Amino acid sequence: MPETHISTTVAPSLSTDSFVSIGSQQPISAIEEAMLAAVAASHGLVTVSEALSLHRLCQMLPAGARILEIGSYLGASTTAIGHAILGREIDLYCLDCWHDYVAHGFIDHPWAKSAHSGNEVLLKFLETTAFIHSQLRILKGTTEQFRTLLPASFFDLIFIDAGHDYDSVLNDLLISMRALAPGGLLLGHDYHSDGHGVVAAVNQVIYESRNITVKGIIPGTSIWYAVINNPLQELVNLNASGLPRPTDRTSVPGSPASRSL
């Protein structure tokens, strides 16, 4: 495994201003038009602006990059990412339990209600993402099950969109800190007024860190972002603090009302 990571070549070029226009709702190329059509066909849960944001950020990654998506479901966000990396030397790892979401109370979605098992959701995901071919690596299970299996300081971009309760988001954040390469980009979905667990965990882990200076919400989306220069040190700091606890953070800067971390 290489000792240095390409994310250090990406992070210096990213500032908070870099994210201001990245979620523009207007596709700027035939490639983006095709990507949006594929995302719409996936029956997923991302908006046009969110799909464009993920696509454009992943296009910025150089050859050799590694992406981890935590929570893939039907593959809508995976499709946006896949179109950005197709044919390039970039690997996408998708980690999901692919449960029977409705029966377990995880999700309320029209397509999921027609599925009889998590396996059917997985089959739909595989059908949707088949175009990514060998660049796609599937990790079936929970982040907790993969906690010690994910290499440390390995991924250059991690997108979190799994369980939205506080404990699940916190766990995913901590595992991601260990797996993210220095200077890597950490993203997550559903930072909004209904995502109380997401807001609380992200505010405590990302917003309250003085060392994370490039962070915020991509305008027009519910995607939060942070460039983490030293993820392992952030993890050490969190452990030293006794780890965050759930609190009501809806009124502080960084709440959905202000759309800014």
User: What CATH number has the domain bearing residue 131?
Assistant: 3.40.50.150
What pLDDT is stored for residue 11 in this prediction?
A: 63
Q: How far, in Å, CA of 178 to CA of 9, rounded?
A: 19
> Based on the structure, what is the number of domains in the chain?
1
Q: pLDDT tens digits for 209-244?
A: 999 999 999 999 999 999 999 999 999 999 898 876
CA 44 to chain CA centroid, Å, is 15
* 255 is a domain residue: no
pTM: 0.86
Q: pLDDT tens digits for 23-38?
A: 777 888 999 999 999 9
Is residue 192's pLDDT more than 50? yes
* 62 is a domain residue: yes
215 CB-near residues (< 8 Å, 6+ apart): 16, 206, 207, 224, 225, 226, 227, 261
pLDDT grade for 120, boundaries at 50, 70 and 90: confident
Q: Give the three-state DSSP class for 91.
A: strand
Q: 157 near 61, Cβ under 8 Å?
A: yes
Structural domain of 21: 7-240
Across residues 149-170, what is the average pLDDT? 94
* 258 is a domain residue: no
Across residues 56-68, what is the average pLDDT? 96
Q: Token pair 């990396």 is at which residue?
A: 85
Q: For residue 35, which of 101, 132, 166, 137 has the smallest C-alpha distance?
A: 132
Tell me the CA distances in angstroms from 101 to 109, 123, 167, one per residue in order. Answer: 9, 14, 18
What pLDDT is stored for residue 254 in this prediction?
A: 36
159 CB-near residues (< 8 Å, 6+ apart): 54, 67, 68, 69, 70, 77, 81, 187, 188, 189
Lowest mean pLDDT among 87-91, 188-192, 252-256: 252-256
* 251 is a domain residue: no
What pLDDT is stored for residue 24 in this prediction?
A: 72
* 246 is a domain residue: no
What pLDDT is stored for residue 44 in this prediction?
A: 82
Across residues 140-147, what is the average pLDDT? 93
* 256 is a domain residue: no
More confident residue, 93 or 1: 93
* 121 is a domain residue: yes
